[in-house]
Amino acid sequence: MQRSLRSWFMIALPLLLAVSLAVLAWVTRPQSRIPEGREEVVFWHFWGGTDRAVVEEIVDRFNNSQQHYHVRAVAMPGNNLDMKMFLAVTGGDPPDLINQDDPIVADWAHRGALMPLEEIATAEEIQQLEGWLFPAARELGSYEGRLYGLCNGLDIRALYYNRTVIEERTGRPAPQQLESIEQLDKLATECELREEDGKLTSPGYLPDPRRLWAWGVVFGGRFIDESGKVTCDDPEIVRALEWMNRYREKWGANTLAAFRQGDQSLPGKTFPLLSGRYAIVMDGQWRVRDIPADRSGEFGVWPLPHPAGTERQADGWVNGNLFLVPRGCRSPRGAWEFMKFWSGFGGHEAEAARACSLGGWIPPSQQVVDQPRFQQYLQENPLFARFVELADGRQVPTPVIPGARMYEREVNRAVARSLYTDNPDDAGSLLKAAQRKVQQQMDRVQGRKEGP
């Protein structure tokens, strides 16, 4: 009797534990705050810090304006949102909408993981949208002629300069505009500081290996051709790298490496332009808010200069933040409504202008830029306004191709090898090797026969 009781106990105990856990999970389940009769839209985004509060405000305003949908925002700051999304899609439980800035549109669209917007919106809306967006914003979300992503902010690069440092070191005011690459070089040389033994302590300007993407297009090169073939060995891009190499030839690879590639991107108050560590730094519009308001007069922004004696082919290289709808999500219509609300399309321009003013984001459409609220913001933030002026210009978008991230890695690695190693192969050979490798990968992904 005692033994039988013990056997029962041994079976009952795990069962009891399992039941208790199930009850506990039920009792402590997250309480849904979705108003009755509304459809939930799960939205994953990468925004953190002060931006997160802006995102939450946009979500609240959308939810308050709605009768049909309710957005639940899930913040995933960091740089692995795409991996989490990828796993969620694979696992069959994707969010309804994501917003992120990595070049993944083509990779996922090619594999059928994204819904083209034409499956969610009407044909008329898509037609209007294509005319509404800045050309670069449209291209960033398009793959093989179909629109997969809706851009809600462009990231544009230009040259920030420290007016005070330039005046102190050159003895004359900083120019209003840089006319050419040669003028940049001259100014950089005039602004550099060295110790007695010749050691560089404060560069005027140093090229960052991750910026060939911008310099390459300003020199007139293109990273893909019209057929979608990888062309990072374009003679003009090679010329841009050769120009960057002149800084290595001048200072040596070790000096350049010591001013590491991430140095110019240090965040917040550590932004080296503020301390005068550099006189000129290339960066995006998001840097404007790192400059304290009471010191904003000390700094300026120049569009990227191009080589003297050549025709200007492009103003710069652009990427951006995109809304993407994973295939298999539950509420694509709700996702569409929310992305329109945020980006400003479909009569929401005033809302988008508000959001862009709060976040310091470059709108994806001139119609948002023209809103009174945004115009007022531009008047109050002249440095930021310089970036917005460039948005409608000849900005070359980052290539939307499968394997774009590998392309980015390989080009950056080739440039770093060129800048940070002594006696590297010539610029052309390094970029040709990167081109071959990336094209092979693209061919593999697209199932094409590899070329010679």
Give the dihedral of Cα atoms 138, 139, 144, 150; nearest 10 deg: -40
Choice between 371 and 398, CB closer to other proteins: 398
CB-nearer residue toward other proteins: 253 or 378? 253
Cα(155)–Cα(137) distance, integer angstroms: 10
SS3 per-residue string spanning 370-437? CCHHHHHHHHHCHHHHHHHHHHCCCEEECCCCCCHHHHHHHHHHHHHHHHHCCCCCCHHHHHHHHHHH
Measured from the CB of residue 260, what is the shortest distance to other proteins in angstroms? 4
Residue 206's alpha-carbon distances to 124, 174, 246, 270, in angstroms, are 48, 18, 10, 17
Query: What CA–CA distance (Å, rounded) separates 327 from 124?
Result: 22
In the complex, what is the shortest distance from the CB of residue 111 to other proteins, in angstroms, rounded to a whole number? 4
**Angle (deg, nearest 10), helices 404-420 and 427-446:** 160
Pick 229 or 405: Cβ nearer other proteins: 405
**Closest distance to other proteins from the beta carbon of 306 (Å):** 28
Rounded Cα distance between 130 and 134, Å, is 8
Cβ 128 vs Cβ 348: under 8 Å: no
Closest to other proteins by CB, 51 vs 107, is 107
Q: Distance between CA atoms of 89 and 76, rounded to whole angstroms? A: 16
Interface residues with other proteins (CB under 8 A)?
3, 7, 10-11, 14, 79-80, 82-83, 86, 89-90, 107, 111-113, 253-254, 257-262, 403, 405-406, 409, 412-413, 416-417, 420-422, 437, 441, 444
Residue closer to other proteins (CB basis): 268 or 372: 268
Both tokens of residue 132? 């509404």
146 in Cβ contact with 118 (< 8 Å): yes
**Per-residue DSSP letter, 448:** P
Minimum distance from residue 403 beta carbon to other proteins (Å):
7
Range 361-396 burial, b when 16+ CB lie within 10 A, else e: bbbbbebbbebebbeebbeebebbbbbbbbbebebb
Pick the closer one to other proteins by CB: 180 or 421.
421
**Cα(226)–Cα(336) distance, integer angstroms:** 30
Closer residue to other proteins, CB minimum distance, 124 or 422: 422
Residue 59 CB neighbour total at 10 angstroms: 20
CA distance 22 to 37: 28
Nearer to other proteins, 73 or 442 (CB): 442
Closer by beta carbon to other proteins, 19 or else 83:
83
Min CB(133)–other proteins separation in Å:
27
Q: How far is the CB of 90 from other proteins (least distance, A)?
A: 5
